[in-house]
Chains A and B, each alone.
Chain A
């Protein structure tokens, strides 16, 4: 309950920053451009057939739009890392440490606003993604994909907190966040199935909860192939969620202990 007030503070602060709503709505839609280009090139070059073999769908446009809609949620995660690093730099993290809020409470409060905002901003692209997959859309598929989204986002926030703790050990932490943030769409299957990646990169992508989340979301909405059978994949996602949430909490606790031992100047 107390962490709700942290969310409220973030929400009210965001409102005062004069959000560029046109830009916020249009930016996710711009992801359509590479989708159109890929679709055009795909049909001309025979890539559609290649995709069909790996995904069981010829609807590249719907495939990409779904990836883009999902990816907006993943983007929120990287935003959370930058926000936390900013709190560290200006020293506000000390005030945050002092608050009688649990670690999970912090994780919830910093995630909630981003999730609400990205859902609102992504409405146009979600509608487009749904329309482009209307032939394979079912109510149960929609509900299952929503559940998978929630689970994979929870896991991803755990991953982000783990990653946040790790970046504090490097002076070039911001660059590291950017590097992984830029590589993640390619490794996580936003544009193409991870099964076409080289083996080594596939193993890296399997470590990301969003790889499994996106794979299952597409399966439930588009009937695409999955990396494993659906039940196993759901188990993997659930296990990753628990693991990353535990790691995230641990990472934050370690950060607190380090800060208490060395002071914030120690980072």
Chain B
């Protein structure tokens, strides 16, 4: 085999190997660069690409503080004020989010809960959060020992959740966000 062919194959192999790594990184790009901060009303046209990519790199350096979604996406989640995700803001699970897609979310120490609380003050089936027929999200305490608090008040009946209002279970605080 000629020297030239072998050299081409050698460099070609390295190129293919690196291509694989780069493709793999592209697949998880959204994870690696964190949250994209897009300006309100900006459109995802070609001319917008550059500044957005800069913004993405910036967020990679500093932890993302706030996310604003582009208008096109929000329409999917229902009305303008409809929450799209549930965020755990305090407690051992802080940072976890669950996308709200019309499903019932159960909270508690039981292993099959949607959010498994690891909290001495939580009951095994503590509370649940579900949408009513109008798409409003309701929190209901399931007879827990230590109670579920919306803002400062202990829940006694199923109650609609205002956007961003803290729901407190033991040391865990969750809230709905857009």
Q: Do A and B bind each other?
A: no
Chain A residues with a Cβ under 8 A of chain B:
none
